[in-house]
Amino acid sequence: MDALHSYRSLADNASVLGFVQWLAEAEHRDNLTPRAEKPEDGCVQILTIHGAKGLEWDIVAIPRLVEEELPSKPREVRAWLNRGELPYVFRGDRDSLPHFAWQGATTRKEAMDSQEAFAQEVREHQLAEERRLMYVAVTRAKHRLALSGSWWASQQKPRGPSVFSLELEQAGLISPLPLAPESDSPPEPSLGEPTAWPRDPLGTRRDAVERAAAMVESALVAPLLERSHSAGVERVLEDLRRHKDGGVQLALSPPVRIPASSLERWISDPYAVLASLARPVPHQPHQAALRGTLFHRFVEQRYDTRLPGSLVSLDDAFDESGDPLSIEQWQSAFEASEFATMTPVAIEAELHLPIADHLVICKIDAVFATSGGVHIVDWKTGQQPHNDEELAHKALQLAAYRLAWSHWSGVALEDIQASFWFVATQTLLTPENLPGWEQLEAQLRQALGD
């Protein structure tokens, strides 16, 4: 995206074709490299050598170590003598570039000899660049390095081993290389069974999944009254019918794992939460939830962290505040806040709080060190509470965060401050008298009937 913004700021008539050409020219001139992909477990990653800079893997394979590929075929050796090229003398890196000594030539022959010497220096300079690139490639391996090449690929003439492979052979680091291809002509295409790519994501489960899908489709076609349900489903449906008619409570029990962001709803109206679990209904995605996710990701990247887990809490996802601010304005608000210049102790940290025979899942947005302890901050992209009662309900989430951090880190509860920071208004709200362990446990047991 940065490259696209740079292109649009420079181009008078921006177009897709112009952007592609600009990228190609930028890579050639300024060594523009792709975004580095971090190593991932359990998969094979295919990257350019530039994209692998600064990363390591247990096993690295480098293919096509052949002439004109690695090192690549020498580019134009006239360099800045070509029309439209900036002479090296005007470049900031001129001291590291080949020098064309044309000033001392007194005859045409001397000038031509100087140009040929310059062209040879350019070739050597390009080879040195390729050698540095090869060094980057081979040093990406932690334990094993596989080097390969072949005389034939898609070209009509064989390509011999790379000069780098020959140097490794001379040093005795690899086995002797073949001197010539087995055939003087390209081999015939393989007649073996072709391999599909990408592979079928269902793999060997495809038949079973398709049979199950067919059963679902046939069940959907049947009239509603003719469908049969399992005993468990029938009990849930009966509970729902009785609840609608004013009957008894649902025969469901609260889950063991409860997100801290839903404590407010569990304590204020546990029956409504149970009813939603008995009959889960997909919620329509809200723009506020998407923007909340983008803001949390911005803060995470702003602090240069890569921690797993959800980036938006449930209260953000169900907040329909209709906040007119854009994500760019939220980002500007954060940059203007006190937190922009602070370094967090933790961000997007997930802690588990065992309380009242349940496990409260706490996903803490940020924790900052203070002179006497720590300050927990929860980013809120929705509306502020309208009154003290609403704030007290929302503060149950902060109370759980505070207890979880104290339980995990050993920091005394009185040394932990917890606040909401509302992005739209840049307001920091720090509720007073957050429930302690006994208070929160009592509220949770009373609400859940434990």
Concatenated DSSP letters for 315-383? HHHT--------HHHHHHHHHTSGGGG---SEEEEEEEEEETTEEEEEEEEEEEE-SSSEEEEEEE-SP
- The pLDDT of residue 104: 82
| The amino acid at 237 | L
- pLDDT > 50? residue 329: yes
- Structural domain 33-170, CATH architecture: 2-Layer Sandwich (3.30)
Domain ranges, ordered by start, for the chain: 33-170, 287-448
Q: Render pLDDT for 297-322 as a digit per residue (tens, 0 to 9).
A: 777 776 764 434 333 333 444 444 44
CA angle 175, 178, 179 (to 5 degrees): 130
What tokens were used for 148? Answer: 């390969």
| Neighbour-count burial of 392, counting CB atoms closer than 10 A to its CB (0-12 exposed, 13-18 middle, 19+ buried) | middle
Is 262 within 8 Å of 355 (Cβ atoms)? no
Section 192-217 average pLDDT:
84
User: Residues 51, 37: contact at Cβ < 8 Å?
Assistant: yes
Expressed in angstroms, the distance from the first to the final Cα of the chain is 52
Tens of pLDDT along 338-356?
888 888 888 888 999 998 8
pLDDT above 80 (res 137): yes
307: left (phi over 0), alpha (psi -120 to 50) or beta: beta
For residue 267, the tally of other CB atoms under 10 A from its CB is: 17
**The pLDDT of residue 145:** 94
pLDDT at 62 over 90: yes
User: Percent of the chain at pLDDT above 70?
Assistant: 75
Averaged pLDDT of the chain: 79
Question: pTM of the full predicted structure?
Answer: 0.42
Residue 38 has pLDDT above 70, yes or no: no
Residue with tokens 């434990």: 450
Residue 385's pLDDT band (boundaries 50, 70, 90)? confident
- Specify which residues 378 forms β-bridges with: 420
User: Peptide bond preceding 71: is omega within 30 degrees of 0, i.e. cis?
Assistant: yes
- pLDDT, tens digit (0-9, with 9 covering 90-100), for 412-443: 999 999 999 888 888 899 998 899 999 999 98
Cβ-proximal residues to 211 (8 Å cutoff; 6+ apart), any chain: none
Predicted local distance difference test score (pLDDT) of residue 373 = 93
Structure-block tokens of residue 114: 């100087």
